[in-house]
Amino acid sequence: MPQTSVVFGLALCGLTVLGMVGSPEKLATAFVPMMLGIPLVFCGIVSLNPHRKRSWMWVAGTVALIGLLASSVRLVHQAYQVLDHHLVNWFALGLMWGVCGLCSAYLLLLGLDMFRQHRRRGGRRRGRSKPHTPPAETPVPPEDTAHETIRSPALLASEKKTPHSMSSSLGA
């Protein structure tokens, strides 16, 4: 998955180059794909280290999610402008569709990879050999409890212990 992160980051940077070369107007929105691509490339390179892979893949997923949300908001804004018959830069709109598509495809692949790794581990977290089961409590035998106070299992266990004398602990 780190290689996929680098490839998608470079694709977003390439989308910026396409936006700068293909449009006679130099818009600030043309740099949005590069602002997302460079952190994705960085996260991919850092996550090549197996000890850092899991945490940096989450960071890369967060960057892609921010890109997906930002491009979606921009696309909705542009859609309202089209419906109100305002002038729209169709090239910038195409760039935002590209960012939205690349970020959603990356998130889909990242989610599938994380699900596959989770299934490979058997649904357990790292470091656990078997699922956690709470300790079984010993049942208290039924007695005539109408006049007695309720005792917890910890209190019952402490009553069963015999106190040590001072002389036995000193070795005498």
Rounded Cα distance between 53 and 60, Å, is 10
Can you give the pLDDT at residue 170? 54
Rounded Cα distance between 109 and 57, Å, is 11
Can you give the pLDDT at residue 87? 78
Nearby residues of 143 by Cβ (< 8 Å), 6 or more positions away: none
Can you give the pLDDT at residue 18? 83
Can you give the pLDDT at residue 123? 66
- Average pLDDT, consecutive stretches of 10 residues, N- to C-terminus, the chain (172 residues): 84 84 76 86 86 82 88 85 78 81 88 82 62 68 60 69 55 52
**Residue 47 burial by CB count (10 A; 0-12/13-18/19+): exposed, middle or buried?**
buried
Rounded Cα distance between 148 and 142, Å, is 12
Could you tell me how many helices (H) and strands (E) the chain has, helices first? 6, 0
Closest CA to 95 of 35, 163, 169, 135: 35
